Chain A
């Protein structure tokens, strides 16, 4: 066990094929926080501490620095999302058991994008409000979770963000919760996070074309996607 008593560990859960920006956004924010608030420490945990593929095509790999066993009781942990690999992770025994047991003692449990589906798939978000990527909200609802379309949603110790880049905004919010607004602003300054999207924001009321078809397909498949993880939860696995 690497966790020291007076140190609050914030663990990021890594698994093959994840959307690496989901993890890197809040990792960067909270690592910058740990530089000015040294009671916090960030780690990247995975089933095995070995080079791991991400969603980026090519040979690039990322390397976690700890295994799940080495950080059993983090102060906080954040689960990033992805597409097919995340839906697969919802039924992965190692990830399920880590998320479930770490959540028992963690004071903050977070997700980015479809990472919320992993939290929901072990029953952590039942009866709670949460958010996820806009294309996957029907899958979240399969687990008895109330989907709210917001940048991030807090409910008790759970904090979930919308898709991918929303994890950066959520992490700045979390940084303020863990310390104060001034510290969060300092982190934002250090990263140079001052967004000006060249074509404006997203018009959520008019997501059409291929993207609309994508959401419709995921929504139709939602009961099938949720079936196996729900069965595992019923079996206590």
Chain B
């Protein structure tokens, strides 16, 4: 009797149910804070229901070291874990950061972490210019992906098939165009990993019923190219320094 009871408990609690899958957000200096916080909050639909915490998934912020990291706002953040503490995440998501993302392409430890951690990851994603960091880890070559529209042509130079969409899925790679694309992509992932009702619930809890006061973004190819050219010219020296150890990237982007 005790034996069969123990068996019953075993059957009732399969091994998988006790393993927490980590959704790791990769932080680096100068990142766009909202690109990280918005999808992470949306993932509360996976990690924390209204009736208690789920043990199936958790979100973590990982970085080179557990110490304050400046963002592109006045608010800094301290990550949960260092890279080596989360070697095998279930999902990896890289937020954007504009020029700081381009600089991060030359960050060897960050790129090495992505190259290593992506092996076991079932989902590898980015928000906005985070796609450049995935590309620098050679993860997007020949794939369909998206990024901030101003950076579209630059991303193509790295051998990525840019698609102008809110978010783009290609195999286990999923990339979002901007901050709202990050939320939309996270809602889609909550539905895929749990169910559509949970996705709608978290959407309702965070009141994601968007009404931008002046409507959506008007895409304008010419203006995008001008902005990018200006931005690259302004930061040319920083980027040269940052990518000194990656002549391959430097050549593709700037020659």
- Whether both chains belong to one complex is answered with yes
A-side interface residues toward B, CB under 8 Å? 12, 14, 19-21, 23-25, 27-28, 31, 42-44, 51, 55-65, 113, 133-134, 151, 162-166, 168-169, 172-173, 176, 181, 184-185, 188-189, 191-199, 201-202, 204, 207, 209-211, 214
Give the distance in Å from the alpha carbon of A207 to the alpha carbon of B150 in the complex: 39
Interface residues on B, range: 35 or more
A60-B77, A192-B178, A199-B203 known; A21+B210 contact, CB < 8 A: no
Give the distance in Å from the alpha carbon of A228 to the alpha carbon of B38 in the complex: 33
B-side interface residues toward A, CB under 8 Å? 32-34, 37-38, 40-41, 44, 47-51, 53, 58-61, 66, 68, 72-81, 96, 128, 148-150, 166, 177-181, 183-184, 187-188, 191, 196, 199-201, 203-214, 216-218
Nearest-neighbor residue (CB-CB) of B66 within chain A: A59
Give the distance in Å from the alpha carbon of A211 to the alpha carbon of B204 in the complex: 8
B208 touches A56 (CB 8 A): no
Nearest-neighbor residue (CB-CB) of B37 within chain A: A24
Give the distance in Å from the alpha carbon of A14 to the alpha carbon of B209 in the complex: 25
A192-B177, A193-B179 known; A21+B75 contact, CB < 8 A: no
List, in ascending order, chain A residues with CB within 8 A of B209's CB. 151, 162, 166, 197, 201-202, 204
List, in ascending order, chain A residues with CB within 8 A of B47's CB. 57
A21 touches B37 (CB 8 A): yes
- What 19 new A-B contacts, CB under 8 Å, besides A21-B206, A27-B75, A188-B212? A21-B41, A24-B34, A24-B37, A27-B33, A42-B73, A55-B41, A55-B44, A163-B206, A172-B214, A193-B180, A193-B212, A194-B180, A194-B181, A196-B166, A197-B209, A197-B210, A198-B191, A199-B191, A211-B50
B211 touches A165 (CB 8 A): no
B177 touches A184 (CB 8 A): no
Q: Most chain-A Cβ atoms within 10 A of its Cβ — which of B76, B203, B204?
A: B204
What are 5 A-B interface contacts by the 8 Å CB criterion?
A: A21-B206, A24-B73, A56-B59, A164-B206, A201-B210
B207 touches A63 (CB 8 A): no
> Chain B's interface: helix, strand, loop or mixed, by majority?
mixed
A31 touches B191 (CB 8 A): no
A136 CB to closest chain B CB (Å) equals 11
B183 touches A165 (CB 8 A): yes
A63 touches B50 (CB 8 A): no
Nearest-neighbor residue (CB-CB) of A201 within chain B: B209
List, in ascending order, chain B residues with CB within 8 A of A195's CB. 180, 183-184, 208, 210, 212, 216
List, in ascending order, chain A residues with CB within 8 A of B72's CB. 28, 31
B32 CB to closest chain A CB (Å) equals 7
Give the distance in Å from the alpha carbon of A27 to the alpha carbon of B32 in the complex: 11
A60 CB to closest chain B CB (Å) equals 5
